[in-house]
Amino acid sequence: MISMQNVQVNYPTFELNCTLEVKTGMITGLIGENGAGKTTIFKALLGIIPIKSGEILIDNVPVNKLTNKKREKIGTVLSDAFFNGLFTIKDIHQLLKKSYSTYDSTYFLSQCQNFRLPDNQAIKEFSTGMLAKLKILTALSHQSDLLILDEPTNGLDVSARHEIIVILQEYMEQHPECSILISSHISSDLEKICDDIYYIKQGKILLHEDTDVLLNTYGIVKVDLDIFETISQDYIVYQKKMFYGYDLLTNQRLFYQENYPQLVIEKPGLDQILLMIMEGEQR
């Protein structure tokens, strides 16, 4: 569905150099700290900013050659762009109706009602959670085949984030050929719904892995200085110096459990894995 190959974007104080793929029917997560380059990737994908080099394809078509019909099938949520704050849901309904030939007014209005979003109130008066739900619904309401969602759960409490995730899961169940690229700096959100995850830091992809692989085969091996020199380093991908020795991130936890049963080996969550990559040294 999406293919970005060696895409380079240059700003005076920042450079993006990215290769990334989103397959049909999959939810791909993009995670990284604020300023890592997530929004730059989204804007490049949508043709909002120019790229210096590389190639971006959506459905095997260069982004700058997408027809209006193709663009209608892309639903977007951008963190820094939405409708005028004076608009009401009724206003947005009319705009969507005029803008998209595939707009499903029944879905949009019924979902707004389900989430108790007031249709006559200016959206600038909405809470953060209400506005986030409305953004998602506008992206889904024109039967999108591709969703590009930049930090859709940013600033929300746990309950509101859960509701957004449920909306996306239900949409994927109803549209199994749809693909989603979603970014967040809250790894637990992505852990729940993503098939695979990219980790980006300072404009570069440092990790790409299936979520199941990350959660089921990665491990953190804890060793003191003496043992560090004696164990196999073949499957160590990052190391972090600790007061007692080292924490070692491995992509083959079972190997170390079987061959070094005396060692402390943790099964980490996504947060722990990413923290090791952020703070550790690559092997």
pLDDT, tens only, 90-131: 999 999 999 999 999 999 999 999 889 998 999 999 998 889
Q: 246 falls in which pLDDT band (50, 70, 90)?
A: very high
Question: How far is the first Cα of the chain from the last one, in angstroms, to the nearest whole number?
Answer: 32
* Count of other CB atoms within 10 angstroms of residue 86: 10
Count CA within 13 A, CB hemisphere, residue 25: 3
pTM: 0.91
pLDDT, tens only, 158-192: 888 888 899 899 999 999 999 999 998 788 888 88
How confident is the model at residue 154, as a pLDDT? 81
Pairing relation of β-strands 27-31 and 14-22? unpaired
How confident is the model at residue 34, as a pLDDT? 83
pLDDT, tens only, 122-158: 999 999 888 989 999 999 999 899 999 998 988 788 8
Residue with tokens 């007692």: 244
* Least confident interval from 17-31, 73-87, 241-255: 73-87
How confident is the model at residue 83, as a pLDDT? 86
Q: 43 falls in which pLDDT band (50, 70, 90)?
A: very high
Taking only Cα atoms into account, the Rg of the chain, rounded to an integer number of angstroms, comes to: 21
- Ordered by where they begin, the domains of the chain are 2-211 (3.40.50.300), 218-282 (no CATH)
Tell me the C-alpha distance between 119 and 92, whole Å: 10
Tell me the C-alpha distance between 63 and 70, whole Å: 10
Average model confidence (pLDDT) for the chain? 92
Q: pLDDT at residue 81 above 80?
A: no
